[in-house]
Structures are given as structure tokens and as C-alpha cells.
């Protein structure tokens, strides 16, 4: 799509994926104004989901679940997200019941199948008894209120064990697979919110690296080092950095 | 499904249009543009319903047909999904013969992770 002159490269770039994908997750979950929403996983998608929920969909309360302090702090600072660190609060469901008695209106999974916590799931994945862990799913199933909605924007590959299907039926939960986001469907809407200043994709932008260092960038991002949340990769064609965005740096010094 | 020379990784990109083909009407050379990560024809039944990531014309791989029942649209930078490919083989040719290979394949992927965790 063509980018208006008033929108910087840094604000426009993420219309490729994460901005409309996060919008699609909230839109698919059919979030209504004044609701209480849980967001599992505060990577780039989860953080953008929080911003859509706060600024545009007008959620009353947003609970963010992650174990990276910098991400929890950023979500709390900018969008009033109530943080739960699953390293310190091992029982997420009990913690949620404590702060949101009765359960969440809707839960959005931005974490995915890779992050097995229990030894059981780690072993089952290792020996090929399952490809995906159901732990996040089951936390959401138990923490969401009766007749609430669970939507999955995180990716899942194939099969999982120990899935709490009984609660899906008995509690009347709506389990929604968002699908890969149909970007072009939400493009104009997302751009409009960016132009109006209701959504700023550069808040989560933490680093800018040269294209030549992509391998090292992926490695450090994968290990969640250097507080890398979202990067901007400079090529030889990239123009000057927009004011307020990260300056070009060397990934080994980050 | 192996990566090939000159494959382009990543799928969030921005740039300036240099040339357009004769049927392109929405952008012209010199325009600053952003591209979507997904590929869609704009003409099939799914695209007409704005379900662009279900486009029926933008993915020539049958891998997902086997595993998921249907295939979704093509996605830039993610055209080689090895986990799905392997599972598809296992399901299609499900025989005990493949089990040791499946085990080795999984172990080789997961062991480094377990070692790193503990």
C-alpha cells in the first residue's frame, strides 16, 4: 500500500505484519468496550495487542502474562497493563482468580506452542508424542469466565496432548483460531489510527541494526538478550532515522 | 523444501517503487510503499471475502492439504516449513519404519533446548 508523506518509514514498516496482525487478534476476539482481557505473551504481537486494546478497543482492564521484566514494565507504563510474571507467580490461574474474580471476559494467546513449562510437555515434545504444548491454552481455558472467548494469534504447528476440552464444552467457551492475519483487510483501518496518533508502532521499537548483522540479531533476540523487543534493519537504501527512533548500533554492543 | 540460494528471509519490508507491470494500477514508480507479509490474488472466493491469507491461488505447496485438510495462502519468507513437511510424511506414510527417524529428528531439535534450560 502507498504510505502518506506524514507517516515515517518507522511507523509504516510494521503495517507489513505485526500491526495489522495484532489488530486482527483483537478484532477476531470481538473485544467490546469495558471488558477485562488477558494477554499471554508480550512479544511484539502481544505488546501491540495491548496498545490496540487500550487506545482503540477501550478495554477496562488488561492483564499481561510474560516473564521478561522489560516487556511487562513497558506494557504497564504505556497502556496500564497489569503485569503477571510467570517466573514469580507460578500458578497463573490462581493469580488471575485473585485479581479478576470470576474470570477474564476474553483471553488472547500471543505466546504459542514452543514454550513448554512442565517437564511432562518438554519430554513429550522431545520424543515426538506431541508437537505443541497445551499449557498456555489450558491456563486460558481455566482463567476465562463462563461463555467467554479465547482467541489464538500465536502460531501452533500440529498436535497437542492434555488439552482441557471438557472445560471448553462445559463452560461454553468460544475457542477462536484467528488464522494468519489477512493484512489487506485491516490495512486502511490501521493506517488511519496511526495517522490520527491513536496507535504508535514505534513505542516497542528498541533497536536499529545493519542488515549485515541479521544472523547475530536473530541469535540475541531468540535468547531475549539486550532487551530487544522489535528491531529496524537498515539497508543501504534506508534514509535517516526519524526523530525519537533508535539510532543505528552494533548488535554486539547492544 | 530446502532453502535455496537467493531465498529472501523476513517479511516486513518497505521501499520505493522502481517499476510496475502493465496491470498495476494502485502504485506508480516513485511511490513509497509497504508490503504485506502474505500473498493474495485478490480474485478468488476467499479474497473476495477479504480472507486474504486463505487465498487459493498463492501457494503451490500441497503440504498443508495433507496435514490441515486445506492449504492457506503463501507467506513471504516462510515458504519452507520443515516441521509440517516432516509431519506430513509421517502421517502419509505412517509406518513403524519412520518412528526411529521421527525420534532422532525431534531429539536433534529439542536436545539443545533442554541442555540450555538445565
For residue B27, what is the nearest residue in chain A, using CA coordinates? Answer: A2
The answer to whether A126 contacts B107, with C-beta atoms less than 8 Å apart, is yes
pLDDT tops 60 at residue A68: yes
- Report chain B residues whose CB lies below 8 A from the CB of A14: 12
- C-alpha to C-alpha distance for A106 and A161, rounded to whole angstroms: 23
**pLDDT tens for residues A129-186?**
988 999 999 999 999 999 999 999 998 988 999 999 999 999 999 999 999 999 999 9
Mean pLDDT of chain B, nearest integer: 72
A contacts of B15 (beta carbons < 8 Å):
237
- Does the pLDDT at position B72 exceed 80? yes
Specify the range with the lowest mean pLDDT, choosing from A185-189, B7-11, B43-47, B105-109: B105-109
Whether residues A126 and B50 touch (CB distance < 8 A) is answered with no
As a whole number, the mean pLDDT across chain A is 95
Q: ipTM for the complex?
A: 0.86
Could you give phi then psi for residue B35, rounded to 5 degrees? -105, 155
Nearest-CA distance A188 → chain B (Å) = 12
User: Does A157 contact chain B (CB < 8 Å)?
Assistant: yes
In chain A, what residues touch B49 (CB-CB under 8 Å)? none
Is A185 in Cβ contact with B110 (below 8 Å)? no
Residues of A in contact with B96 (CB under 8 A): none
Percentage of chain A lying above the pLDDT 70 cut: 100
pLDDT computed for residue B11 by the predictor: 85
User: What are the strands, taking DSSP E only, across A18-128?
Assistant: 36-40, 61-66, 82-85, 104-109
* Buried residues in B48-80 as b, exposed as e (16+ CB within 10 A): eeebbbbbbebbeeebbeebeeebbbbbbeebe
Question: Residue A63 pLDDT more than 80?
Answer: yes
CB contact under 8 A, B52 and A182: yes
Q: Determine, for residues B27 and A128 on separate chains, whether the beta-carbon distance falls below 8 Å.
A: no
Average pLDDT over residues A31-43: 97
Quote the pLDDT of residue B78: 66
Rg, C-alpha atoms of chain B: 19
Cβ-based contacts of B11 with chain A (< 8 Å):
16-17
Q: pLDDT of B17-63, one tens digit each? A: 999 999 888 889 999 999 998 888 899 999 999 999 999 988 888 88
Asked whether the predicted pLDDT for residue B6 surpasses 90, the reply is no
From the list B52, B87, B106, the residue facing A183 with the nearest CB is B52
By Cβ distance, the residue of B35, B84, B87 closest to A16 is B35
Distance (Å, whole) CA A215 – CA A42: 23
User: What residues of B are in contact with residue A179 (Cβ under 8 Å)?
Assistant: 51, 53-54, 72
Mean pLDDT, range B66-86, rounded to an integer: 69
Amino acid at each position: 500500500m502507498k504510505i502518506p508523506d506524514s507517516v515515517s518509514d518507522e511507523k509504516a514498516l510494521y503495517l507489513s505484519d505485526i500491526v495489522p496482525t495484532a489488530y486482527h487478534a483483537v478484532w477476531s476476539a470481538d473485544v467490546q468496550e469495558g471488558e477485562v482481557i488477558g494477554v499471554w505473551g508480550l512479544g511484539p504481537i502481544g505488546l501491540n495487542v495491548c496498545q490496540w486494546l487500550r487506545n482503540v478497543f477501550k478495554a477496562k482492564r488488561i492483564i499481561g502474562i510474560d516473564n521478561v521484566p522489560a516487556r511487562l514494565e513497558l506494557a504497564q507504563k504505556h497502556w496500564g497493563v497489569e503485569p503477571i510474571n510467570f517466573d514469580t507467580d507460578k500458578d497463573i490461574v490462581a493469580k488471575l482468580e485473585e485479581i479478576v474474580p470470576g474470570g477474564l471476559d476474553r483471553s488472547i494467546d500471543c505466546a504459542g506452542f514452543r514454550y513448554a513449562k512442565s517437564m511432562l510437555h518438554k519430554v513429550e515434545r522431545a520424543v515426538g508424542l506431541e508437537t505443541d504444548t497445551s499449557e498456555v491454552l489450558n491456563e486460558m481455558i481455566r482463567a476465562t469466565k463462563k461463555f467467554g472467548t479465547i482467541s489464538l494469534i500465536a502460531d501452533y504447528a500440529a498436535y497437542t496432548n492434555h488439552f482441557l476440552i471438557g472445560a471448553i464444552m462445559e463452560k461454553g467457551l468460544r475457542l477462536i483460531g484467528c488464522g494468519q492475519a489477512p493484512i489487506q483487510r485491516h490495512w486502511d483501518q490501521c493506517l488511519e489510527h496511526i495517522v490520527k496518533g491513536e496507535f504508535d508502532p514505534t513505542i516497542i521499537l528498541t533497536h536499529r541494526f545493519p542488515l549485515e548483522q541479521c544472523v547475530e540479531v536473530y541469535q540475541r533476540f531468540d535468547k531475549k538478550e539486550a532487551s530487544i523487543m522489535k528491531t529496524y534493519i537498515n539497508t543501504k537504501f534506508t534514509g535517516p532515522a526519524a526523530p525519537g527512533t533508535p539510532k543505528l548500533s552494533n548488535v554486539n554492543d547492544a | 523444501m530446502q532453502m535455496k540460494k537467493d531465498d529472501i528471509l523476513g517479511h516486513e519490508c518497505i521501499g520505493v517503487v522502481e517499476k510496475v507491470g502493465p496491470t498495476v494500477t494502485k502504485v506508480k514508480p516513485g511511490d513509497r510503499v509497504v508490503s504485506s507479509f502474505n500473498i493474495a490474488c485478490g480474485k478468488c472466493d476467499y479474497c473476495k471475502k477479504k480472507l486474504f491469507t486463505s487465498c487459493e491461488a498463492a501457494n503451490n505447496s500441497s503440504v498443508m492439504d495433507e496435514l490441515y485438510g486445506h492449504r492457506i495462502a503463501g507467506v513471504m519468507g516462510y515458504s519452507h516449513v520443515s516441521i509440517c513437511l516432516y509431519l506430513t510424511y509421517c502421517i502419509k506414510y505412517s509406518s513403524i519404519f519412520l518412528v526411529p527417524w521421527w525420534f532422532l529428528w525431534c531429539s536433534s531439535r529439542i536436545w539443545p533446548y533442554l541442555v540450555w534450560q538445565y
